[in-house]
Amino acid sequence: MRHNGRAMAPQRVVSSLTVTIDPDAGAVRDVSGRVTAGDHAAAEGMLGRLVTQLVAAEFGVAFVYAALEEVLASTEAGDAVLVVEEAGLGRQAFRAGRRPIVGSWARGVVQAGQLGLHTLPDGAACAAAGSVTDLCALALRLDVARHDSLHDPLTGLLNRRSFDVELTTACSQAERYGWPFGLVLIDVDGFKSVNDRLGHAAGDATLLAIGSELRRRLRLGDAAARIGGDEFALIVPEGDEDLLPSLAQRLEDAVQAAVPAAGVSVSLGLAMAPSEGTDSARLFLLADERLYRRKRR
């Protein structure tokens, strides 16, 4: 691409970060226009690899450690520490090789509080330190965004969208391998009156108590979600009807302890796979019908 007769520098864009490689100057510039010194060819190759890895990365922390290994491989550094600070995450420090922050150099870097990428020896500075730091900070922000997109912000449980994915997966496994599970739907009876009588803070505290109790009781393979205002759902491998009374009692006790004046109860409905089917919509309908039959008792 050309602009005013001059070849424009190629750019790689990842979310809000743009890394620019300027072929005319032979330098690496980050989004703020800073030009770094060092081996620019190596820096260009490293940044290209890191951008590719970030696009494919599932976890931001894993990307940060991979970036530190790239720094060691592309420079003469024998050690590297990255210090970043992000809203909602606070200040965090990462050391190459997932090593602890011990020893005079690493501890001194962190205690000094200077953000950015630090290498040892100092003369082995990375030519693209600013861009590496920006990419790592972006990876950590993406981790937060990914978590928020999958979880309910109040209770921390899965949200409806991610629960539907879990349920579809469980149904596929039940159909293919015969792995049994129970789908439990939970409704908080009298929740509207809590908001009306005690205010929305008490209503939130009621939902938080149920969410905390569900998280506390989760076993390996269980999945819990808030799927509506006062509606929750569980996927319980090898669950059966016997678990419902004790689960209801634990949830009601948790609410009573957190909001004594709430006066709510819970209704539950269960559908079993594969014995009652492996279609997620049918199982959901069965569990919902049984929940409302219990509610009317």
pLDDT tens-digit series, residues 18-49: 544 334 333 444 444 444 444 566 677 888 88
CB 225 within 8 A of CB 160: yes
Q: Is 188 part of any domain?
A: yes
Average model confidence (pLDDT) across the chain: 85
Read off the amino acid at residue 20.
Answer: T
pTM: 0.71
Report pLDDT for 12: 42
76 and 115, same domain (yes or no) = yes
24 and 108, same domain (yes or no) = yes
Report pLDDT for 40: 66
All residues at 6 or more sequence positions from 117 whose CB lies less than 8 Å from its CB, including other chains:
71, 80, 81, 82, 126, 129, 132, 133
6 and 98, same domain (yes or no) = yes
All residues at 6 or more sequence positions from 199 whose CB lies less than 8 Å from its CB, including other chains:
none
242 and 273, same domain (yes or no) = yes
Active site residue 288: no
Angle value at C-alpha 187, between 216 and 240, nearest 5 degrees: 65
Report pLDDT for 190: 93
Report pLDDT for 55: 86
140 and 13, same domain (yes or no) = yes
Give me the residues of the chain with pLDDT under 70, please: 1-42, 123-125
Report pLDDT for 192: 93
Which of the following is catalytic: 230, 240, 242, 279?
230
Whole domain around residue 234: which residue ranges?
Answer: 160-296
111, 126, 148 — which closes off a domain? 148
Report pLDDT for 39: 56
111 and 206, same domain (yes or no) = no
Q: Is 280 part of any domain?
A: yes
